[in-house]
Amino acid sequence: MPYLFTSESVSEGHPDKVADQISDALLDHFLAFDPESKVACETLVTTGQVVLAGEVKSDTYLDVQTIARDVINSIGYTKGEYQFSGDSCGVISLIHEQSQDISQGVDRGQKEQQGAGDQGMMFGYATKETENYMPLALDISHKILQNLAELRREGKIIDYLRPDAKSQVTIEYSDDNVPQRIDTIVISTQHDAFDIDDAKMLDKIKKDLVEILIPRVIEQLPEAIQNLFDDKIKYHINPTGKFVIGGPHGDTGLTGRKIIVDTYGGKGAHGGGAFSGKDPSKVDRSAAYAARHIAKNLVAAGVADEILVQVSYAIGVVEPTSIYIDTYGTSNVDLSDGEIANKTKDLFDMRPFAIEERLKLRNPIYLETAAYGHMGKTPKTIKKVFESPYNGRIEKEVELFTWEKLDRVDEVKKAFNL
């Protein structure tokens, strides 16, 4: 019997995502001026206020207020009527130095012997469902909001959009787990106050999003996915009514509260920790990226059509305590999932320092991860500029989303005789 599966996404202007982006901007600045920085930075945003907290060990000093304000303005919170803007909000910093009790278990004389920054389990997932090996419902949810943000910034075709938004996509699957059609699309978008009554306002927003936004999204999808959109889709656009009050004024935002949006939209699994604001010595982040890298390369090589990878660590211990693989019965090789895991362990060095080196994680690459998902994006090399009244100006060429590279496919094929 066919079944339905749903994933959601949130925009860069969602209060939790504002917090994530500030935390990762601070992390990037610390790493730009001191690549060995140890950072665990949390952010809270609410009406007119930003609170920064966490632990940092670094040889550099930052103007954290300016960094936070620049992020807020770049997202689009620039007007007084939002009750939250980069130029007028208060910024309170409660950041302090990292505990020596933690660092003594992580730091080593030889970097190769660096211990894990915490205990815990991390997951990576990949599926042949989409070209980027991501779950389809989440991929479409992200694309809806990315295009909505582009329309907001253009301000021409739709001129009333504000930064806060959420999307949700429900897909109908067949018994053999193949997408059949898009069943439901939910979009809630913050907007300016209208001079017309609420009913007319909502009619206009729904018409614009269904007739302007959705066709724009469909154009960016492969033909096979485009065919899943039909005239029977149920649309719920701003289903609670008008949405003028939003962002951090409408709902307090915190770093790390959108971890399912950040990963796989409910497919696969997520471990015990969030990502944003954490340097790569925290395996919550680095090992989750490494597990995604493994899963994606295994699926791309043809080991299975769908793969979940779990890795676990003990704080201060170099080697992972376990590596587990689930192919959901889609394996294309004559090996058990346990045997696949053993081969994978030999192919990918999962020591924390090895992950940092392999994926180039000591670079300032994290702000770009903090909205619309950490997984599924296209690897690319860009130049980033960082300025500080204490450290001057620095320009760095960095490679983004290294964990999305299909750079181990040939090696995997050889190991699995594919």
**57 marked as part of a ligand binding site:** no
Whether residue 200 is annotated as binding a ligand: the answer is no
Q: Between vectors from CA 185 to CA 404 and to CA 231, what angle results, nearest 5°?
A: 115
CA distance 85 to 69: 8
Alpha helices in 76-174 (DSSP H): 100-106, 136-154
243 is in an annotated binding site: yes
Cα separations (Å) of 396 from 32, 266, 383? 8, 35, 6
Helices (H) and strands (E) counted in the chain, each on its own, are 13, 13
DSSP code string of 277-304 = TB-TTSHHHHHHHHHHHHHHHHHHHTSB
Q: Give the contacts of 259 (CB within 8 A, at least 6 positions apart).
A: 270, 273, 274, 275
- 128 labelled ligand-binding: no
Beta-bridge mates of residue 191: 161
For residue 20, which of 28, 32, 132 has the smallest C-alpha distance? 28
- Element of type H or E holding 412: helix 409-415
The reply to whether 111 sits in an annotated binding site is no
> What is the rounded CA–CA span in Å between residue 25 and residue 385?
12
The kind and range of the H/E element at 381 are strand 380-388
Question: Is 242 marked as binding a ligand?
Answer: yes
Residue 16 marked ligand-binding:
yes
E-state strands within 11-84: 38-46, 49-57
Would the annotation count 164 as a binding residue?
yes
> Radius of gyration (Cα) for the chain, nearest Å?
22
| CB-facing half-sphere around the CA of 139: CA atoms within 13 A | 21
Q: How far is CA 386 from CA 26, 30, 34, 99, 224, in A?
A: 11, 10, 12, 27, 42
257 is an annotated ligand-binding site residue: yes
The annotation status of 274 as a binding-site residue, yes or no, is yes
What 3-state DSSP class applies to 188?
strand
339 assigned ligand-binding residue: no
DSSP-derived 3-state class of residue 119? coil
Q: Which residues are annotated as a binding site for ATP?
A: 14, 164-166, 242-243, 251, 257-258, 274, 278
Q: Which residues are annotated as a binding site for K(+)?
A: 42
Q: Which residues are annotated as a binding site for Mg(2+)?
A: 16
Q: Which residues are annotated as a binding site?
A: 14, 16, 42, 55, 98, 164-166, 242-243, 251, 257-258, 274, 278, 282
Q: Which residues are annotated as a binding site for L-methionine?
A: 55, 98, 251, 282
